[in-house]
Structure 1
Amino acid sequence: MTKPGAVSSAQLSRRSLLRRSALFGGAALLGPAVLSACGDDDAGATAAAASGTKVSTVFSWVKNVEWAGFWVGDDQGYYTDEGIAPDWIGGGPNAPENVQVLEAGKAGIGLASDTLKIIDAAAQGADFVMFAATLQESPVGFAWLDPNIKSIHDLVGKTLGGDSSSPSMIDACFKVNGIANDYNFIQIGADPAPLANGQVDAILCYTTNQVSVLEAQGLTVFSATLTEFGVPLYADALIAKRSFLDANHEAVVRFLRATIKGHEKNIQDPELGARLATEKYGVDLALDYDGQLTENRKQIELWVSDVTRKKGVLWMDKDYIAGPVYEGIRAAGRTELPDVNKLVDLSFLTEAYDGKTTLLSA
């Protein structure tokens, strides 16, 4: 559960840590990615002028290494080979929420970092569908510096920090563990400085990047994912409106096939993904290569699960969602959950793989 770094009691400036958080990734805790006819983001649209079906993808955070599989797929020509002209739309703290971009028709496919939010939306009648997932275990979790904190029970009465979506996830973890919602909350966004400076006792963050930011400053950091605390979730799920999927079935399969190859190649060569994020797609962000490489290697570990070992990257398991995922959500107090068969559509993955378990070596 714990992930220690080098020991230090250094106090870090808010500006310094916020900048390093952006360099490492600093992903928001919610969002999607997309295929559509619109999108005006400039960097990364290498095939925008090429012939082919234009696919706009909206990300839940800035154009950093979190999306390395897409960058590699674009750079290696996999989308062009499939007759897809990708258009990448970056996210970030000042960007509109991804589901709003999808609803407005400015993107067709989205990457939902917070799949719990998509599940809740579907339960309320929204027609969003998940059809693949990069992260088999959500990297969202708690991070803290106090070695006396051993479990979620030790967070009772503490001051916790996070972004605007964090309280719902904190409440879910407390509920599933039979803990009353006894904590103070401070909204800090993606900035881990308040933890380093003692303003909060723990933060809800991406354990693949904010933890690395703190460790790079010489701090000993302890962390646990939502899964470790009883609320298992996928993350960076590819989502779209059902109406969009029905109208663009063939194009979505081709987009997904290229995306699979990009993710497979990034697993083989994580340095390539980090370099592309630093020097090409996120060049305007002044990203730190070493930080991006650390982030990439950590996230690749979460791309793998029992189902991906058997069927290939980006696969999802409906039984896992209907079982452990929904059990954790129900224990957290949600009684109305969507039909898994309506929430998740694996037909696109089935067609993209066409009976194979890998596409690069096929």
Structure 2
Amino acid sequence: MAFRRKNWMAGMLLATTFVVAPLANAADRVKFILDWAYQSQHSMFTIPADDGTYAELDLNVQVDRGAGSGDTVAKVASGAYEMGVADFYSMLRFNSQNPDNKLMAVMAVDDRSALAVASLSATGIKTPAELKGKTIASPAGDASRQLFPLFAQANNIDESSISWNNISIELREPILRRGDADAITGHLTTISMAIDAIGMKRDDIQFMAYSDYGVELVGHVVVARPEYVQSNPDVVRRFLRGAVHGYKKMVADPQLAVASIRKRDPMANADIELARLKMSLDYRMLTPNVQKNGISSVSPERIQRSIDQVGPVFGVDPSTKAADIYTTEYLPDRAELQLPPTGPASSTP
């Protein structure tokens, strides 16, 4: 009888251990918001959720679509989301307007910004100087519109000679097609996919990316509240490790990347998303710098130069330093950030 009681008690202890252990090791929840609708370049954040990488890192990650970088930074700053991906300059502008509720960047997703001016090739506008006296259509709050003064300054364009047509985002490419504006501004990959969707040919468009004409811009970054990062450093590290895994899988298997996005948005066109991913990788993500030095290899010195250049446009405190809003502390080791050779990245759209 004593033997049976001993085994019964041992069984109870094992059962108790089995129940308690998962509670003690419960995955950390992370709500993450994108900068826009689910698109193929976002698969670096969705693939780790699909293949179990986040789970293996003891993370329960929810990836939600966004409504623009400005909306994303506001929602992260409010605490509605732990982290998000947004345009670096949307974060910088938000910080200048909300000095008591600033955000910081913990990872560079794009090595180069894709903000650009686009015109119909038939207009003959091939250089920034030829924009003088022209009409440009753009949403007033778009980052490309907000940063145009830097593009103008770098290329000796008298801004007073430009007539701006403030429009809603869905009208931008159709207005260009109809010839109701000489040019538009926006994100290179977004414009390219939009003109495909309305039946225009890529050869019909002439692009002038700000980064190719004297404005050294960074692209999208992962943003978070400093207090969240400081209170949850290990969670941030694990999340970024999962995102690096997703980045590499996205590069290695574009079909997998598109499938991950279509799992969340079945209406996404697979061909368009494949083209979007190729352009995103070629132009703003797999730059020569990234291929040589690895993912998120933007130096603090480059961030500082960008702050100094963009700061006056957004009213940024002149004393702002790169270390105030950008850190590499939570990234994986540099060896883990390295990519296998993929050939030279294109520098043109």
TM interval, short-chain normalised: 0.7 to 0.9
Q: For 1:266 and 1:240, how far apart are their aligned partners in 2?
A: 23
TM-score by length of 2: 0.79
How far is 1:164 from its partner?
2.9
- Aligned partner of 1:291 in structure 2 is 272
Letter in 1 for 2:155: N
Letter in 1 for 2:34: F
Q: Cα 1:54–1:300, aligned 2, differ >3 Å: closer, same or farther?
A: same
User: Does the CA contact (< 8 Å) of 2:92 and 2:316 recur in 1?
Assistant: no
Q: Which residue in the other structure is 2:347 paired with?
A: none
1:188 and 2:168 aligned: yes
State whether structure 2 residue 229 is matched by structure 1 residue 277: no
Residues 328-339 of structure 1 aligned to structure 2 (within 5 Å): 328-329=309-310, 336-337=317-318, 338-339=320-321
Question: What is the letter of the counterpart of residue 110 of structure 1?
Answer: G
Alpha-carbon distance in structure 1 between the residues aligned to 2:29 and 2:240: 14
Q: 1:208: how far off?
A: 1.4
Question: Using the alignment, how far apart are the partners of 1:57 and 1:91 within structure 2?
Answer: 10
1:254-274: CA deviations, max 9, x gaps?
000000000011000111111
- 1:66 paired with 2:44, answer no
Q: Specify the code of the residue in structure 1 equivalent to 2:256.
A: L
Q: Distance in 1 between matches of 2:239 and 2:339?
A: 13
Distance 1:305 1:101 in 2: 30
**In structure 1, distance between residues paired with 2:46 and 2:314:** 39
Opposite residue 107 of structure 1, the aligned amino acid is Y
- Correspondence for 1:318: 300
Cα distance, 1:238 vs structure 2: 0.5
Q: Which residue in the other structure is 1:161 paired with?
A: 137
Aligned equivalents of 1:159 and 1:354: distance in 2? Answer: 46
- 1:4-60 C-alpha deviation (Å, 9 max, x unpaired): xxxxxxxxxxxxxxxxxxxxxxxxxxxxxxxxxxxxxxxxxxxxxx94111111111
Compared with structure 1, are the counterparts of its residues 303 and 242 closer, same or farther at alpha carbon in structure 2 (3 Å cutoff)? Answer: same
The alignment status of 1:198 with 2:174, answered yes or no, reads no
- Name the Cα RMSD after superposition: 2.6
Whole-angstrom CA distance in 2 between matches of 1:245 and 1:274: 30
- Worse overlay, 84-93 or 208-217: 208-217
Distance 2:34 2:95 in 1: 20
Contact 1:142 1:224 in 2 (8 A): yes
Tell me how far 1:91 sits from its aligned partner: 1.5
Contact 2:120 2:183 in 1 (8 A): yes
Letter in 1 for 2:162: Y
Structure 1 residue 122: Cα displacement: 3.5
Dislocated runs of 4+, deviation >3 Å: 120-124, 330-337, 354-360
1:213, CA displacement in angstroms? 3.2
Equivalent pair of 2:139/2:167 in contact (CA under 8 Å): yes
Whole-Å separation in 2 of the counterparts to 1:73 and 1:140: 28
Q: Work out which of the two has the higher radius of gyration on C-alpha atoms and give 1 or 2.
A: 2
Letter of the aligned partner of 1:172 in structure 2?
L
Counterpart for residue 154 of structure 2: 176
Pair 77,314 (structure 1): closer, same or farther in 2 beyond 3 Å? farther
Is the contact made by 2:133 and 2:163 (CA closer than 8 Å) also made in structure 1? Answer: yes
CA distance in structure 1 between the partners assigned to 2:193 and 2:236 by the alignment: 34
List per-residue Cα deviations over 1:184-241 (Å, max 9, x = no partner).
2222315411111112111112211322332562431111212012222222200111
Q: Does structure 1 conserve the Cα–Cα contact (< 8 Å) formed by 2:93 and 2:316?
A: no
8 Å CA contact 2:138, 2:169 repeated in 1: yes
User: Deviations 1:276-319 (Å, cap 9, x if unpaired)?
Assistant: 212x0122xx1111000000111112212354234421332212
Which residue of 1 is the match for residue 224 of structure 2? 240
Q: Deviations over 1:76-121 (max 9, x none)?
A: 211111111111121137x9811221122110112112x2232234
Task: Tell which has more relative contact order, 1 or 2 (C-alpha 8 A, sep 6+).
Answer: 1
Contact preservation (8 Å) 2:70, 2:90 = no
Q: Which residue of 2 aligns with 1:3?
A: none
Paired AA for residue 184 in structure 1: S
Structure 1 100/120 Cα, relative in aligned 2: closer, same or farther at 3 Å?
Answer: closer
Q: In the alignment, what sits opposite 1:214?
A: 195
% of aligned pairs identical? 18
Q: Structure 1 stretch 310-319 or stretch 247-256: which is displaced more?
A: 310-319
Structure 1 residues 331 and 176 mapped into 2: Cα distance closer, same or farther (>3 Å)?
farther
- Would you say how many aligned residue pairs link Structure 1 and Structure 2? 304
More helix by share: 2
Q: Distance in 2 between matches of 1:215 and 1:96?
A: 26
Q: Does 1:106 align with 2:80?
A: yes
Structure 1 counterpart of 2:79, which letter?
A: G
| Secondary structure, aligned partner of 1:73 | helix
How far apart are 1:175 and its partner, in Å? 2.2
